[in-house]
Amino acid sequence: MKNVLVVDDSQIMRNIVKNSFAALDIPCRFLEATNGKDALNQLEENKIDLVLLDWNMPKLSGIEFLKRVRDDERYTQLPVIMVTSEAAKYNVVEALQAGATDYIIKPVNEQKFREKISKIKL
């Protein structure tokens, strides 16, 4: 059973992300965070196998969360997929340079997750 941390300030979007990911039939337990700060706490308290990370959130954005995570040697190999509406190429480049494992542009669906997750060893 894998622990998947879904980080998004929108409850509706967290549910849509969970439902889309759950359709992949990967045995997993979902944990949730509403911003990057909350997500950092979740990382300290749980063994997380995958982070699905929004970009624009209050308190601590997804990109700042990502930079902090990659600066921590415990999490250099943790798969982090950005799941965001930020669709410009310069945003994708920034996220990948900051250490994102992959990048999904909202709106999400099962097919987008299937393509990305197949490239990751969970």
Partner 1 sequence: MEKYIHPFITVCEDVFRDFVGTKLTAERPYISSRNEEHEWEISAIIGFTGEARGAVVISMKKEPALKITDILTGHAHTDIDNEVIDATGEIVNIIAGNAKRGLEETFKLIISLPTIVRGKNHRITWPGESTRIIAIPFKIFESDSLCLSVAIESITGA
Minimal distance in Å, beta carbon 74 to partner 1? 29
CA distance 27 to 1: 5
Residues in CB range of 37: below 8 A, 6 or more apart: 59, 60, 65
x/- mask, partner 1, residues 9-48, rule CB under 8 A, reads xxxxx-xx--------------------------------
CA distance 51 to 39: 9
Minimal distance in Å, beta carbon 73 to partner 1? 30
Classify the phi-psi angles of 34: left when phi > 0, otherwise alpha if psi is within -120 to 50, otherwise beta: alpha
**Could you tell me which stretch among 8-16, 41-49, 65-73, 75-83 binds partner 1 (CB under 8 A)?**
8-16
User: Residues in the site for partner 1, rule: CB under 8 A?
Assistant: 9-13, 15-16, 55-58, 84-91, 105-107, 109
